[in-house]
A and B are shown apart, each in its own frame.
Chain A
């Protein structure tokens, strides 16, 4: 571990000669970079879960992360808002830049990062509070007390998450009374209420039925106008349907990263082709 760190410090330029296949031409558009993972490594104890991850996420795009179970895709997305640090034995090395700043820098408060980088989790996890209090939770922790402003934020966020019409008459009912799909959209609204820049979604539809899934997918299409979205998904059709770029993870490494259409039509790595054609995983 120490050895690895020293190696990386000595050879920062090794980055350039990374072996995975990135199409050099597809990132030449003018969109700004939101996240840039630079030679990022992560260990759970002795287990090397992410190996030399390197790729760039651009703004106002949906970037899908696909790969078989245990390939490190959830770990990676949790590293982007430093949620992964809740696991006690985690060690990291290398850097992830968010808008040019290393998120693991000592002077970068994790609370500040998470205000900019919201997250929607795999299982809908509303608080056992009213719908209103759920959505107002974020603004409140950031110090907004004015009832009018809170009302405004709650309505805007619920509209943004395409659930306002379904819940506007019962804002003060417990969010637990909603269906799973509605709960997940409440969680998305709760995430929008902190006015984030990026939204991370960790398999947001894996616990939902097909109709709710469709609603959430439509919602993601709308959201990308104003937010950058990074979504982890098990479902390759979903990645193909909703994302602009797709990155394929395998055994903690980035195998291929390209425009979604190209990944699904003409993958350049044999392993990617095997995976998307269902030969393993």
Chain B
């Protein structure tokens, strides 16, 4: 038999192959560190600038012309109230849509069309959703610049992301598990609630929380809807006017006085704390569900 692989050649090339392997590892590591480093610099800078303004008054004061008197009370409560609308609306609608598309919908052209377009919707700029919200919720339904109008607009914005994430989580449940359930005479609904969803919930939650984090930090749709910046009262109901954290931060950051830059940094710290809290809750829920097995 002819030997095609010559051992001496293999040994000669070995060093350069190993070197190449190391170089690529370095390149990937550098790419990762670049992103990480940028994030760290950003966070450190913001904390240095804003930490001095974080105190009880900052949480207890409304917006003000004077940087030392300005606070995030209205914005923080407003953001939380808005999320109370966004979370149930978008998660219920999104998961229900994903279940329909993955479990019930037949593979025909119409459903393919819907599937493709939901993915496309996830890429539509947020300002377009703002215009949609302005036309439909603010004007047509007459909800005004309310928590409800803003919350529904944000729900529309993140709905495609939640649907796609939930679809993927549902699709990841092995076919064999469904077969086992159907094979014992379970209906589709029993199979979905007892086999598919318990396995898919960690994935659905991760996707949903990422989407909700996007909603809480999104500014453009709120600007288009016309959410006011300075408000000196707390929201009283779903139809009440309100302001939100990113709006407040945006307003502070564009003011000429230098001191307001620090107030903006403090606002960003508050927003980040809210995000971290939300993500921790998601992790907790996820772990709870995984433990059941």
A140 CA to B190 CA in the complex, in Å? 10
Q: B180, A115: Cβ atoms under 8 Å? A: no
CB distance from B176 to the nearest CB of A (A): 4
CB distance from A167 to the nearest CB of B (A): 16
Q: B183, A81: Cβ atoms under 8 Å? A: yes
Q: A141, B180: Cβ atoms under 8 Å? A: no
The residues in A between 115 and 166 inclusive whose CB is less than 8 angstroms from any CB of B are 115, 118-119, 121, 123, 125-130, 137-138, 140-142
Q: Does B177 contact A (CB under 8 A)?
A: yes
CB distance from A10 to the nearest CB of B (A): 32
Chain A residues closer than 8 Å to B190, beta-carbon distance: 141
- Taking residues whose C-beta sits less than 8 angstroms from the other chain, chain B's interface range is 20 to 34
Q: A121, B194: Cβ atoms under 8 Å? A: no
Q: A121, B185: Cβ atoms under 8 Å? A: no
Chain B residues closer than 8 Å to A121, beta-carbon distance: 176, 179-180, 183
A86 CA to B176 CA in the complex, in Å? 12
A81 CA to B181 CA in the complex, in Å? 13
A137 CA to B185 CA in the complex, in Å? 11
Q: Does A213 contact B (CB under 8 A)?
A: no
Q: Does B187 contact A (CB under 8 A)?
A: yes
Given A129-B293, A137-B194, A174-B293, verify A86-B177 contact (CB < 8 Å). Answer: no
- Interface locus among A44-52, A187-195, A215-223: A187-195
With beta carbons under 8 angstroms apart, the residue of B106, B183, B293 that contacts A114 is: B183
Q: B106, A127: Cβ atoms under 8 Å? A: no
With beta carbons under 8 angstroms apart, the residue of B179, B199, B293 that contacts A176 is: B293
Chain B residues closer than 8 Å to A114, beta-carbon distance: 182-185
CB distance from A232 to the nearest CB of B (A): 14
Q: Does B107 contact A (CB under 8 A)?
A: yes
Q: Does A32 contact B (CB under 8 A)?
A: no
Q: B184, A137: Cβ atoms under 8 Å? A: yes
Q: B184, A118: Cβ atoms under 8 Å? A: yes
Chain A residues closer than 8 Å to B186, beta-carbon distance: 111, 141
The residues in B between 93 and 116 inclusive whose CB is less than 8 angstroms from any CB of A are 106-107
Q: B195, A111: Cβ atoms under 8 Å? A: no
Q: Does B174 contact A (CB under 8 A)?
A: yes
The residue on A at minimum CB distance from B106 is A88
Q: Does A83 contact B (CB under 8 A)?
A: yes
Q: B174, A125: Cβ atoms under 8 Å? A: yes
A127 CA to B181 CA in the complex, in Å? 9
With beta carbons under 8 angstroms apart, the residue of A86, A112, A187 that contacts B182 is: A86
CB distance from B293 to the nearest CB of A (A): 5
Q: A83, B183: Cβ atoms under 8 Å? A: yes
The residue on B at minimum CB distance from A134 is B180
With beta carbons under 8 angstroms apart, the residue of A119, A128, A174 that contacts B183 is: A119
Q: B184, A115: Cβ atoms under 8 Å? A: yes
Q: B185, A83: Cβ atoms under 8 Å? A: no
The residue on B at minimum CB distance from A116 is B185
The residue on B at minimum CB distance from A82 is B182
The residue on B at minimum CB distance from A193 is B184
The residues in B between 160 and 205 inclusive whose CB is less than 8 angstroms from any CB of A are 174, 176-177, 179-187, 190, 194-195, 199
CB distance from B200 to the nearest CB of A (A): 12
* Contact pattern, B 280-293, Cβ under 8 Å of A = 1, otherwise 0: 00000000000011
Chain A residues closer than 8 Å to B107, beta-carbon distance: 88
Known: A88-B107, A121-B176. 5 other contacts (CB 8 A): A86-B179, A121-B180, A130-B293, A137-B181, A190-B184
In the complex, 13 of the A-B residue pairs with CB atoms within 8 angstroms, ordered by the A residue number, are A88-B106, A111-B186, A114-B182, A114-B183, A115-B184, A121-B176, A125-B174, A128-B177, A129-B293, A140-B194, A141-B185, A141-B190, A194-B184
